[in-house]
Amino acid sequence: MTSFMRSGPLEPGEWVRLTDPKGRKHNVQLEAGTAFSTKKGQISHDDMIGHPEGIVIESSMGAPYQVFRPLLFEYVVSMPRGVAIIYPKDAAQIVTQADIYPGARVVEAGAGSGSLTSYLLRAIGPQGTLGSYEIREDFAENVVRNVHQVAGPNPPGWTLTVGDVREVITETEIDRLILDMVDPWTCIPLAADRLVPGGILCAYVATTTQLSRFVETVREQGGFTEPRAWETLERDWHLEGLAVRPDHKMNGHTAFLVTARRMAPGQTSLEKSRRPAPGAYGPDYHGPRPAGFVAE
């Protein structure tokens, strides 16, 4: 059992999160007989092993640190990465808006560094299945290391395949398909073929050009509901006495999320009833156009 799924006394091999009075944080993996070095002196691992989380210990120079097991969202932002991670604010949106539920059959294309994989495994539970596909072997090796830290050495229901999901996918009936790749629109035929009726397609894209091309390709395919696109912005608040105000910093744009649901076989989605905005499909637009569109 890993440090992200247990309680009780701290044990060797577990990760802990040390926080000083200024809010500076360090993730440390416990090992008997060793110490973690800071600018405020060394912190003995033996002072933490065998104790419950939530204690306050002192470094060799008398600096206090509080000790907790890291929460999953705290760990993933500092996990070793070969590529940018999907941040907690976006992972939370994917789990909720794509309705990842216990027992779901999920496929993710582009495992990245394993952050979203960790959230998906928690959400589907031991009865669900998650097929992760990563095109780069070096990234896949990092995914394995990170996921094993979170979910243990053999997470039930999880498979990781190195290869192009469009060429090597083995799943035939999918409840949820998550796309974290440069060209997710190329997976629309796969989604149409493998997603069950009512299943959800979800794409994570960084730029407006990717967003536009993906949405228009989904519309052109016709077998999905009208796509919904959004982004999530996160901002902390400063809280001190009567000085309660928004923080000056925030977690702004990281990516856009897009979801659409699979229609039943032979059914096409309802076309948008409103007229496109002037210039929406002007001469600079090179993607698919709505059925019946006539340029003015």
Annotated binding site for S-adenosyl-L-methionine: which residue ranges? 113-116, 134, 164, 180
Token duo for residue 283: 């001469």
**What is the torsional sign of CA 130, 29, 48, 66?**
negative
Residue 47 burial (C-beta neighbours within 10 Å; 0-12, 13-18, 19+): middle
Strands (E), the chain: 15-19, 25-29, 35-38, 41-44, 55-58, 64-68, 105-109, 129-134, 158-162, 174-179, 195-205, 228-230, 237-240, 243-246, 256-261
Q: Which of helix, strand or coil describes residue 240?
A: strand
- Residue in the block written with tokens 């989605």: 269
Sequence-distant (6+) residues with CB within 8 A of 138 are 82
Cα four-point dihedral sign 20, 24, 30, 36: negative
Q: Which residues contact 295 (CB under 8 A, 6 or more apart)?
A: 281
Question: Which pair of tokens denotes residue 219?
Answer: 């519309």
Residues comprising the binding site? Answer: 113-116, 134, 164, 180
